[in-house]
Structure 1
Amino acid sequence: MMLCRREVLTGSASLAVAAVLAACSAGGGGAVSSASPAGTDGASAVPVNSAPVVLKSVWKGEALTTRVGPAVVQGGYTVVKMEISVDSGERFLLGSSMFGDGLNINTLAAVKLISLRENVVYREVGRTPKGIGYIEPDSPAELLPVFGAVPDDMDSIELLLPTTGVALGVPVVDAPVAGFDVTAAIANAQIDESIHSGPFELNSLVVAADRSSDTEKADTSTTVNVSGDVLFATDSADLSDAADGVLALVVEQLELYPSGGELAVTGHTDDVNTDEHNQGLSERRAKVVADRLGELTDLSGWETTVSGKGESEPRVANDSDENRQLNRRVEIVLTPADSDEGSAATTGAGSAAGSGDMPEPVGPVGRGPDGVDIEIDGVPARISLDSVTRYAGYLIGTVKISSEQEVSVPLFLMQIPDDLLFIRMWSSYATSGCTLLKGNSRHLVVDFINSDENSIVLAGYISGTMVANDVRSLPVVWPDTGEDTVTMDMIGEDDAFGQHLAVRLTDIPVVEA
């Protein structure tokens, strides 16, 4: 089943970026004290003071150190300081694509400011005509992305760098102690007033491995979509033998809320047959599902409504057999009287989804910390995931892909297959295919829906050319599965976009932030 916290656009403040390269003066505010948290290639520890968070990565074959923070809120914006240095101390061309979003390669558009504790993200949508340029010896590059203002009481934030990692617990401080000129950073930023900054709430997605159901979970409601092809035979309103197994997932959600609430059951069809026929079929199917739920659990505390929408509200266009299958569904919306009951019931337990056997792997299998040999466009490479960090109800990891030879990376290598992609319409270059497999459920990459109604994943991306001895760092944020070790699985199915990477990494330890 898909467990998704469907989010609402809650703000529209503009934001922008100042990508300013500057030499750091001796004794400046960017110096890292002995109390600085030690970054370790992935999500780093939460700092206890105003020192920056340190991340290690490799870009174009060069080992880099990135210091993130502090952040400052001023004049309706949040400015975050980033310093990047080359570990070798040699002059290095950082280039213009390290932090771009594919369409805007010479910007910091793919950097995301996040509050995982508040389940929100802010977009960096400033545009600068300049590339990132060179890092000089003993003179780190200073980047100052500018976002919309976070709340006054927020003392730390997270920052996702798409080719580096996720910096956890970046301190938010007052301007006088920031160690950089906040006013100048905002003045130099190119503010695009037409683009909303957020905050946008985060969606946590869990999908049944057989694609039989999916769920959206918001703060006040839960929406479960159950496949009509699993519940019913073609053009029938009689429940199948497999129906109870899928409806048990709905019962599990209902029983999280002993105080009850409102329950809406709605039938939907594809566009085959007439409008009148489909309307009647959808109504009959909804009633049968509602009746069966009442037999499987006590609905006396739930005010239940039943309706059918026929073919009038498709999830996706009815332009293929696969899409019509997505549209044939029964939608069940729970609006509990006390939404806190569900949170209390699952505290410390992670997601309840994950019973049953894991599907068989499609590609090579190995322990995540050890890594697994793969091929990229016929060139030998290796993928690994040393650990994931548990923080504020999420798991954060940095997937590493390395190659000893130069290789051109296919655009869709890390993409999830299109039957799942079309539900969210994720960008092709992002690492949306990295799922955490728990039993027969896939926990997908966390995403958010921006003001343009586009779904954007909290993950890195890999595209273009990897040089010899390159190591790409691909940060990924998942919902917490509640386990001590996790399994990352990439499905690797053929679809209209080509072949995606198939691999399974097991025994990945979960560490506490």
Structure 2
Amino acid sequence: MAAVLAACADDGGSVTDASAVPSGSASGGATASANSDPVVLKSVWMGEALTTRVGPAVVKGDHTVVRVVVSTDAEGAVDLYGMFGPHTAAATLNAVRLLSLIQGFALREVTRGGGNESVEPGGSVELFPVFGRLPDGVASVDVFLPNVGVALGVPVMDAGAAAFDVEAALADAEIDESIKSGPFDLNSVVVADDGSSDTEKDEASTTVNVSGDVLFATDSADLSGEADGVLGSVVEQLELYPSGGQLAITGHTDDVNTDEHNQDLSERRAKAVLDRLGELADLSGWEVSVSGKGESEPRVANDSDENRQLNRRVEIVLTPTDPGEASTATSDVSALGSSGEMPEPKGPVGRGPDGVAIEVDGVPARISLDSVTRIGDYLTGTIKIVAERDASVSISYFGVPTSMYSLREWGTYQSTGFSLLKGGSRYLLADFTDGEGVNRPLTNFWRNRLEANVAQSLPVVWPDTGEDTITVDAPGGKSLGRPVLAVRLTDIPVVEA
């Protein structure tokens, strides 16, 4: 079932066809608000159609509260339990995120409850997710609602102008003061599909992890014939910042051999990478540090050959003096190594707007993505999955395969497996690291079943690859010993917010 795009003409909720809204519609069921009106999203939950009105967002003291009104014309009550909360806290709003995709930050929701409501037939329910205080000067925000979509351009206004009692909403909220809300910088990770490297960029720095098995032969610090091809992505990053900055190169090994041997090997490998980068690029503006960590800082446990391979690496961190220089040259994220040929698909292939036939637990189903919307340095949309019959779904079916676990703190019941493909590079979902150091991808938390002929909405946010059309890929493989979805959606148009 395709999402319906609409704009709310007044706070009471009359809906106008999205094609009449000049500000442009957002893929995945939302229209960016052109004024103080809430943003309207259409979705399905528990087999029933819902309308969700989002906004305004109001800053009051140390907090920001967002009004969310959910209504339905269903014949029976619709239970919202599990709709907005993670599987470990299904009766909360904790999976809702307050974003600025223009400025590139996210805030966590901080209440203990609020998500265990029911919408009566023909009625509505008000929800008030609460976040930390927005930075001053933010005029509009974007709200990530799991199982619904991303509401773009939600207006921010003073409490006196809001059509609800802000003080009462905050007084009724069970705020958990132990949660650090942020704001936190959004991150982007790009992975070479052949496993040779992965690159992460945030506001301050760029980190490139290069596979030791690509750079070196076993137990050697002599660079291989393939090394220049992989280090070329590092050179591209260095050239984005003519003013230079700090460059840290660190070698890492697995746990095979002695601590002393591995420490020495990691240091020699880091030095070899520095020497070659000095031949490939001008490092005169960079303050360089070189070190080895041996086996002391593995990415994952050294408990299998596959994991040991992930731990053998050289980490290169660029902290430029002027991070803004990259933006004047090219899109920060689209510059993250997109060379190489696109990998062969591991599952069925088809145009995203048309949908692609897949199977979920042996049940025929269809997956689609009509379009995505470009806003700031990000793309957002809503993937739809519809099964012909009720289907059980394993906790990791829409997640990443085991081979990608080291890249992030992935969790179960999350739709983290959908990435963008550009050339030989895989762009993972946007995420942020919270105040406790936990990685939190902008992803869906979902129940482990699909209802017959009911669209499951999977909102997604990716870094912008700078293309007019995109390709979305779920790579397949296994996670926790269970199969992971493999499918490729092509020719998905990008529209401007």
What is the TM-score with the length of structure 2 in the denominator? 0.93
- Distance in 1, matches of 2:168 and 2:333, equals 46
Please say if residues 116 and 394 of structure 1, whose CA atoms lie closer than 8 Å, have aligned partners that are also in contact.
yes
Counting only pairs closer than 5 Å after superposition, residues 391-430 of structure 1 correspond to structure 2 as 391-430=375-414
- Distance in 2, matches of 1:54 and 1:190, equals 26
Letter paired with 1:218: D
Tell me which residue corresponds to 2:449.
465
1:71 aligns with 2:25: no
Q: Gaps (5+ residues) in structure 1?
A: 1-26
1:120 aligns with 2:100: no
Q: 1:282 aligns with which of 245, 253, 266?
A: 266
- Distance in 2, matches of 1:426 and 1:164, equals 21
1:444 aligns with 2:422: no
Please say if residues 41 and 57 of structure 1, whose CA atoms lie closer than 8 Å, have aligned partners that are also in contact.
no
Tell me which residue corresponds to 1:157.
141
1:371 positional shift: 0.4
1:101 aligns with 2:86: yes
Q: 1:131 aligns with which of 116, 121, 129?
A: 116
Q: Relative to 1, partners in 2 of residues 1:363 and 1:222: Cα closer, same or farther, differing over 3 Å?
A: same
Letter paired with 2:203: D
Tell me which residue corresponds to 1:24.
none
Tell me which residue corresponds to 1:228.
212
Which range moves more in the overlay, 261-270 or 381-390? Answer: 261-270
Q: 1:82 aligns with which of 65, 68, 85?
A: 68
Letter paired with 2:467: E
- Distance in 2, matches of 1:348 and 1:129, equals 38
- Distance in 1, matches of 2:142 and 2:67, equals 12
Which range moves more in the overlay, 72-81 or 394-403? Answer: 72-81
Q: Secondary structure at the match of 1:83?
A: strand
Q: Relative to 1, partners in 2 of residues 1:163 and 1:345: Cα closer, same or farther, differing over 3 Å?
A: same
Which range moves more in the overlay, 403-412 or 233-242? Answer: 403-412
Q: Secondary structure at the match of 1:42?
A: coil
1:362 aligns with 2:346: yes
Please say if residues 51 and 171 of structure 1, whose CA atoms lie closer than 8 Å, have aligned partners that are also in contact.
yes
1:509 positional shift: 0.3
1:50 aligns with 2:32: no
Q: 1:329 aligns with which of 303, 308, 313?
A: 313
Q: 1:191 aligns with which of 155, 172, 175?
A: 175
Which range moves more in the overlay, 426-435 or 193-202? Answer: 193-202
- Distance in 2, matches of 1:216 and 1:352, equals 8
- Distance in 1, matches of 2:351 and 2:114, equals 43
Letter paired with 1:105: A
Please say if residues 265 and 290 of structure 1, whose CA atoms lie closer than 8 Å, have aligned partners that are also in contact.
yes
Q: Relative to 1, partners in 2 of residues 1:301 and 1:335: Cα closer, same or farther, differing over 3 Å?
A: same
Please say if residues 32 and 51 of structure 1, whose CA atoms lie closer than 8 Å, have aligned partners that are also in contact.
no
- Distance in 1, matches of 2:290 and 2:461, equals 36
- Distance in 1, matches of 2:362 and 2:312, equals 39
Letter paired with 2:83: M
1:120 positional shift: 1.3
Instruction: Give deviations 1:451-487, integer Å, cap 9, x for gaps.
Output: 2322111021333232222101100000000000000
Counting only pairs closer than 5 Å after superposition, residues 169-180 of structure 1 correspond to structure 2 as 169-180=153-164
1:259 positional shift: 2.0
- Distance in 2, matches of 1:146 and 1:79, equals 4
1:263 aligns with 2:235: no
Q: Relative to 1, partners in 2 of residues 1:80 and 1:32: Cα closer, same or farther, differing over 3 Å?
A: farther
Q: Secondary structure at the match of 1:205?
A: strand
Counting only pairs closer than 5 Å after superposition, residues 301-340 of structure 1 correspond to structure 2 as 301-340=285-324
Please say if residues 383 and 402 of structure 1, whose CA atoms lie closer than 8 Å, have aligned partners that are also in contact.
yes
Please say if residues 24 and 32 of structure 2, whose CA atoms lie closer than 8 Å, have aligned partners that are also in contact.
no
Please say if residues 367 and 505 of structure 1, whose CA atoms lie closer than 8 Å, have aligned partners that are also in contact.
yes
Please say if residues 401 and 484 of structure 2, whose CA atoms lie closer than 8 Å, have aligned partners that are also in contact.
yes
Instruction: Give deviations 1:63-99, integer Å, cap 9, x for gaps.
Output: 221111111111321111111122x453332331111
Q: 1:240 aligns with which of 224, 227, 241?
A: 224
Q: Relative to 1, partners in 2 of residues 1:284 and 1:390: Cα closer, same or farther, differing over 3 Å?
A: same
1:390 aligns with 2:374: yes
Letter paired with 2:98: L
Please say if residues 33 and 51 of structure 1, whose CA atoms lie closer than 8 Å, have aligned partners that are also in contact.
no
| Alignment length (residue pairs) | 485
- Distance in 2, matches of 1:324 and 1:508, equals 37
Instruction: Provide the alpha-carbon RMSD of the alignment.
Output: 2.0
- Distance in 2, matches of 1:348 and 1:434, equals 21
Letter paired with 1:295: E
- Distance in 1, matches of 2:288 and 2:114, equals 56
Q: Relative to 1, partners in 2 of residues 1:78 and 1:129: Cα closer, same or farther, differing over 3 Å?
A: closer
1:444 positional shift: 0.2
1:326 positional shift: 1.6
Q: Relative to 1, partners in 2 of residues 1:250 and 1:342: Cα closer, same or farther, differing over 3 Å?
A: same
- Distance in 2, matches of 1:337 and 1:259, equals 6
- Distance in 2, matches of 1:224 and 1:394, equals 21
Tell me which residue corresponds to 2:327.
343
- Distance in 2, matches of 1:43 and 1:344, equals 32
- Distance in 1, matches of 2:214 and 2:350, equals 33
- Distance in 2, matches of 1:469 and 1:38, equals 29
- Distance in 1, matches of 2:45 and 2:329, equals 43
Q: Secondary structure at the match of 2:129?
A: strand
- Distance in 1, matches of 2:208 and 2:411, equals 24
- Distance in 2, matches of 1:244 and 1:358, equals 20
Q: Secondary structure at the match of 1:342?
A: helix
Tell me which residue corresponds to 1:31.
13
Letter paired with 2:37: A
Q: Structure 1 vs Structure 2: percent identity of aligned residues? A: 60
What is the TM-score with the length of structure 1 in the denominator? 0.90
Tell me which residue corresponds to 1:21.
none
Tell me which residue corresponds to 1:7.
none
Q: Secondary structure at the match of 2:219?
A: coil
Please say if residues 356 and 367 of structure 2, whose CA atoms lie closer than 8 Å, have aligned partners that are also in contact.
yes
1:217 positional shift: 1.9
